[in-house]
Amino acid sequence: MFKRRNYTWNDGKSLSLCDRTLIMGILNGTPDSFSDGGQFNIPETATAHVKQMIEDGADIIDLGVESTRPGSTPLTTDEEIERLSLLIEPVLKASTVPVSIDTYHAKTAEYAFSKGAHILNDVWGLHYDPDMAAVVAKYKVPVIIMHNSNDTNYGDIIEDMKAFFFCAIDKALKEGVTPQQIWLDPGIGFGKTEEQNIEVMQRLGELTAYEYPVLLAPSRKRFIGSMLGGLPPEDRDEGTVAACITGVFQGVDMVRVHNVKMHKRALAVADGLLRGE
């Protein structure tokens, strides 16, 4: 069920996808994120949070400086790089694990990789910036291709998602990206209604059946709040655990979460049960 991948970087950091679910800790270096905006957008608080998440069990730190919450104002590339320039070097220095960059702009990704970032997390799955796949190929980094859409009109949502992924994968391979670099993310909370998010969660096994590792990122999303009677984002961690374990039992390889400690403990049990240990 688990895909096998091993990655090493020139700075000595490494990552192995093996027989347990990996955890990506969220670092929102934004003033306006839906969950924790404004808490970690200066070096002092950002690096302290990085160290805490690693102590709690994070395998990757995911750094983003543009909010992708519904209704947020997109940044220009120059604005995004200006924000990122305050955090990227302190975060890389503080982190003992790989750091992924959450961006859909090739220029921002190029800047981050030139500073030493390790992974690309693209919320538009190589569909937004035509130069992004070439940047991934140039730096030979893993890329997380997330499904997204400007509307919610699908035929069969999983089949449409597969078509999106296959288009992005084809584009990446033609630019020289290798299959080993590619991960997939179903994009929970992006371009989907609450009902569609739930359907995707129920059908994750149709995506994990493919050769590519799958990242699941439901943390504190609105559909969880709705299922919990309208709870605000900061009170959705238990619901996030349930969503992540639903994914683990369908074969996802990594989860992206805010509360690393809670998920580290829960996933230790889930992985043990799944493997019969």
Q: CB-hemisphere CA count at 13 Å for 274?
A: 20
Inter-residue contact 79 to 36 (CB < 8 Å): no
The residues near 241 (Cβ < 8 Å, ≥ 6 apart) are: 262, 263, 266
Q: How many CA atoms lie within 13 A of 162 on its CB side?
A: 13
Would you call 265 a catalytic residue per the annotation?
Answer: no
Q: How far is CA 93 from the centre of its chain?
A: 21
Catalytic choice (221, 261, 264, 275): 221
- Which DSSP letter does residue 233 get? G
d(CA 153, CA 157): 9
Select from 178, 184, 42, 24 the least CA-distant residue to 98: 24
The CA distance from 150 to 103, in Å, is 17
Q: Could you confirm whether 256 is annotated as catalytic?
A: yes
Helix, strand, coil shares of the chain as percentages rounded to 5? 45, 15, 40
Query: The tokens 């302190």 sit on which residue?
Result: 90
Select which of 83, 192, 220, 256 is catalytic. 256
Supply the residues annotated as catalytic.
221, 256
